[in-house]
Amino acid sequence: MKSLGSIRRDFTPWNDPSARPYIQFENVTKKFGDFTAVNNLSLAIFEREFFALLGASGCGKSTLLRMLAGFEEPTAGRILLDGQDLRGIPPYRRPVNMMFQSYALFPHMTVEKNIAFGLKQEGMPSPDIEKRVAEMLKLVKLEQFAKRKPHQLSGGQRQRVALARSVAKRPKVLLLDEPLGALDKKLREETQFELMDLQQELGLTFVVVTHDQEEAMTMADRIAIMDKGEVMQVATPAEVYEAPTSRFVAHFVGNVNMFEGKVAERSANTTRITGSSGAQIVVENSGAAAANADIVFAIRPEKIKVSSKKPADAVNALQGEVYDIAYLGDMTVYHVRLDDGQIVRASALNAARVTEDPLTWNDRAWVSFRPDAGVVLAR
């Protein structure tokens, strides 16, 4: 069986027409004065989904999250949670909880009191609160830190307290604003997997805002890529990477090579493209591109092979000169300057310790790729 990229888990309610979305943004617009932070945006998130909002800073992703939490009201449009319109409901009456980027731990309260804060607000009897707090401390492995104040904790421990506090009330939806932004790289990677396990264990819907594409790819079932207050694409990590629908998304997630050209000929499965310098390539996945249309062919570096001789079976092979090589250990990145001047980035996994076909600067080289290795996008 073939699949696009790797399958994370068997969970695809968005492909089921009978599934009702749990959170719905319907034509939501948010303006701050003259600035439009979110522009006529619609989005559906499903129950138990791990959903990521990915974008550069200022793209409106945090505003979206804050509207869901109730800290901002949409200028137009509406937000539904489990079918209920959230307009006018203040943050303290919404069944969602948020984990803040700064953690926002109450500095004058111990870890225990921080976690108990939300439970006290809803008037839970104190024996139950104690039980729940103990449970939460166990969940985030901070049992022996219960009596400490936030400033007596390390960054990673603070992050876990913030997490425990935000899930203590068993919210229907947990909102996470750059949850791992303040952690160092190694801790961040560990915590990503912990968050995924936690989401599975508690069966909650997670909406996470991040600017880190690797983080989004690792954790999320689906990713919404945002730019200038609009959603550019909503898809699984594999689809976003392997089948971007726009140049923006292709560029934003991972590295990509773009070949500009015109559709020369279309057949049932394949399309022949004439590049701007006259080179011809044959590709699949050309979507609705009509004959003579100006298009770009987008292909990821790891799907391009670099070799000193032209591979015998290559459908698409272009000649050039090795311009730069970066050896990164697990892989090697080649920059090849094609004869028409375009620079192509190709990466090769160093599966063996010894390279069969060593290339170096200024060597003549061939770059080749399969017809199904990339996608055709509108110019």
Partner 1 sequence: MNTTWSRFNVTSIVLGFAFLYLPIVLLIVFSFNESKLVTVWGGFSTKWYVSLFHNQGLMDATWVTARVGVISATVATVLGTLAALTLTRYTRFRGRVLFSGMVFAPLVMPEVITGLSLLLLFVAIGLDRGFFTVTLAHITLTMCFVAVVVQSRLVSFDRSLEEAAMDLGATPAKTFFQITLPVILPAIVSGWMLAFTLSLDDLVIASFTSGPGATTLPMKIYSQVRLGVTPEINAACTILIAVVAVGVILASIANKRREVQRQLDERAAQRG
Interacting residue ranges for partner 1, rule: CB under 8 A: 69-71, 90-93, 96-98, 100-102, 104, 106-108, 117-118, 121-122, 149, 151-154, 157, 165-166, 169
Query: Least distance from C-beta 354 to partner 1, angstroms?
Result: 42
In the complex, minimum distance from the CB of residue 97 to partner 1, in angstroms, rounded to a whole number: 6
SS3 133: helix
Residue with Cβ nearer partner 1 (86 or 153): 153
Report, in Å, the least distance between residue 199 CB and partner 1.
19
CB 206 within 8 A of CB 199: yes
Find all residues with CB under 8 Å of 95, minimum gap 6, and list them. Answer: 81, 171, 172, 173
| Cα 224 from Cα 175, distance rounded (Å) | 15
Q: Whole-number minimum distance, CB 68 to partner 1, in Å?
A: 11
Q: What region, left, alpha or beta, does residue 353 occupy, with left being phi > 0 and alpha being psi -120 to 50 degrees?
A: alpha
Task: Output the smallest distance, CB 93 to partner 1, in A.
Answer: 8
The pair of three-digit structure tokens given for residue 129, joined into one six-digit string: 């609160």
Q: Contact at 8 Å (CB) between 258 and 250?
A: yes
Q: Which is nearer to partner 1, 66 or 335 (CB)?
A: 66
* C-beta of 152 vs 308, nearer to partner 1: 152
Which residue, 172 or 247, has its beta carbon nearer to partner 1? Answer: 172
Q: Which is nearer to partner 1, 20 or 141 (CB)?
A: 141
Shortest distance, position 99 Cβ to partner 1, whole Å: 9
Minimum gap (Å) between residue 214 Cβ and partner 1: 25
Residue found by looking up tokens 């770059």 in the block:
367
Q: Which two tokens stand for residue 267?
A: 């057949």
Enter the tokens of residue 246. Answer: 């726009």
Distance CA 187, CA 239 (A): 27
Rounded Cα distance between 235 and 203, Å, is: 21
**Where does residue 268 rank: exposed (0-12), middle (13-18), buried (19+ CB within 10 A)?**
exposed
Q: Name the minimum Å distance from CB 345 to partner 1.
A: 40
What are the start-end ranges of the E strands in the chain?
Answer: 23-32, 35-45, 50-55, 76-81, 84-85, 96-99, 173-177, 205-210, 222-227, 230-235, 257-266, 271-275, 280-283, 294-299, 305-307, 316-327, 331-338, 343-349, 364-369, 374-378
Contact 254, 303 (CB under 8 A): no
Residue closer to partner 1, measured from CB, 2 or 93: 93
Residue with Cβ nearer partner 1 (104 or 333) = 104
Nearer to partner 1, 6 or 92 (CB): 92
